Amino acid sequence: MESQRNISEFILLGLSYDPNMQLFCFVLFLFCYVSLLVGNLLILVSILCSSLFHQPMYYFLSHLSSVDICYTSSVTPKLIGDLLVETKSISYGNCMLQVFTLHFFGGIEVFILTAMAFDRYVAICKPLHYMIIMNRTRCNLLVLAAWAGGAVHSFPQLFMAILLPFCGPNEIDHYFCDIFPLLKVACTDTYITGVLVVANSGMVVLVTFFVLFVSYVIILFTLRNHSAEGRRKALSTCGSHMTVVVLFFGPSIFAYLRPPTTLPEDKVFALFYTIIAPMFNPLIYTLRNTEMKNAMRKVWCQAYFQRKPTINLKKTIS
């Protein structure tokens, strides 16, 4: 493979050349990343330390939070660090690793969102058989299938990136390494590779979005037979999930389901599915969910009051 390239690193052009804009982006994305980590860790710990972990919906949500952290961490720390330096370089090996981790964890997120939609479909359309269908064994299999699906999606992306020959320009017009920007600087005809990327990433996003869309159409159709209170609770839960799906899948479809080329808007849309959507997931799932808020209040208040007597005892002794 070494004979097919004569470069050891790539230069990322980033989001902007303006120093003031870079400083603004540094503060903004640092805040977004910290908020994402804190929010998803709060959800993860709250679910693991409460009875919600035994409910399928929150079991999937805990996995979604952990994947969100890994997914965004494959891109965002590098972006934040690059905003403080003039030359934004990334080694060839780290670039290939970024391609793999981005698509691996992104693929897992797509399939976990699909599993969550299936859970909502069973809960609303087959409520009497819900606990039988969504038993822990089946939930574990769905999560395992999501990880396997992420691997099946990401390894071909990695192999296509590794097989690309690079012999001259090494400037990537993006803030992270992805397959389409790499195709632009490869010194060979990349038409076939571009078609394969669209067939892989584009079809994964399109098919899963179609499955999600159909499932929610069926759910909305079924809700006509429910009481007003039942419709309100179901729509509140499903509304949170649909908001996440739109934030994630909308920009992803624009980025991958089109002819293999790069556009100036790519970087803006990429911000949505790499940073914005994962950051808003905790807010969406907690602000509209009474059970989640109660569990967080119980877990963290209990932890606070368990520590308080110890602190008072230390003060008394001193």
Domain limits, the chain: 12-298
Among 3-17, 61-75, 116-130, 297-311, which range has the highest average pLDDT? Answer: 61-75
Coil vs helix vs strand at 6? coil
The model's pLDDT over 163-195, given as tens digits with 9 standing for 90+, comes to 888 887 788 888 899 888 898 888 888 888 888
Please report which helix (H) or strand (E) contains residue 11, including its range: strand 9-12
pTM of the model: 0.85
- Quote the percentage of the chain above a pLDDT of 90: 29
pLDDT of residue 105: 95
Q: Is the pLDDT of residue 4 over 50?
A: yes
Q: Is the pLDDT of residue 295 over 90?
A: no
Q: Where are the alpha helices (DSSP H) in the chain?
A: 19-48, 56-73, 76-82, 92-125, 130-133, 136-163, 179-185, 191-197, 203-222, 228-256, 266-271, 277-287, 290-317
φ, ψ for residue 298, nearest 5 deg: -65, -45
pLDDT of residue 316: 45
Over range 219-235, report the average pLDDT: 73
Q: What is the mean pLDDT of the chain?
A: 83
CA distance 99 to 97: 5
φ, ψ for residue 74, nearest 5 deg: -75, -15
Q: Is the pLDDT of residue 61 over 50?
A: yes
The model's pLDDT over 83-113, given as tens digits with 9 standing for 90+, comes to 988 888 999 999 999 999 999 999 999 999 8
Block residue for tokens 């992270």: 176
* Start-to-end C-alpha separation, the chain: 67
CATH architecture label of 12-298: Up-down Bundle (1.20)
